[in-house]
Amino acid sequence: MYRVVWSQVALDQLADIFVLADLELQRRMADAVEALNRHLELRPFDEGESRDGSGRVVFVQGGLVVGFSVNEPIQEVRVVGVTQYGR
């Protein structure tokens, strides 16, 4: 199992998006982030698309684009950024 760590930058970006959303969108985002965390813990290479080096990006429900990297030797996934699409 991989350990999932959110950078402070990613948490701040998520919070900025979250507070501007209506309640229904906040619920969808929260559910999507919770599901993403579970998937990243188990199979991070099955999530999203690869980018340069160890970077990956995944589009999740609620209009979020989540960037992350996988450090396989230490079994860690680091979420490095969150943006919003479709707005």
Q: Residue 44: exposed, middle, or buried by beta-carbon count in 10 A (0-12, 13-18, 19+)? A: buried
**How do residues 63-81 score in pLDDT, each as one tens digit?**
999 999 999 999 999 999 9
Q: Per-residue pLDDT tens for 24-56?
A: 999 999 999 999 999 999 999 999 999 888 799
Domain spans of the chain, in order of start: 3-84
What's the fold here for domain 3-84?
Answer: YaeB-like fold (3.30.2310)
